[in-house]
Amino acid sequence: RRPSRRCGCWTGLDDWQARAAEATAGLSGRTPPLLIAALAHWPLLSAPVAEAETKASRAAVQRNLDRLTELGLIREVTGQGRFRLWSAAL
């Protein structure tokens, strides 16, 4: 459960979600908005967790994680080729 918005704790995340929704409005498919929601819920997101959260294929998840990275909305934080994690670029 999120803290109350009155404290301002989630302002950055709310702003990011709005920016991400606007930036991905032209993308087709159901995966981009589901990934945005998953990234808003999980501070660090792996591809397997993203698959489970979105019910999308590994290929669709990876393709959309790459798109969100290219758009500057998320960043890969491990610097590895395997066992990677992404976070919202607040």
Map the chain to HEC letters.
CCCCHHHCCCHHHHHHHHHHHHHCCCCCCCHHHHHHHHHHHCCCEEHHHHHHHHCCCHHHHHHHHHHHHHCCCEEECCCCCCCCEEEECC
**CATH placement of domain 30-90:** 1.10.10.10
pTM check: above 0.75: yes
pLDDT reported for residue 82: 93
pLDDT digits (tens, 9 = 90+) for 59-86: 999 999 999 999 999 999 999 999 999 9
Ordered by start, the domain boundaries in the chain are 30-90
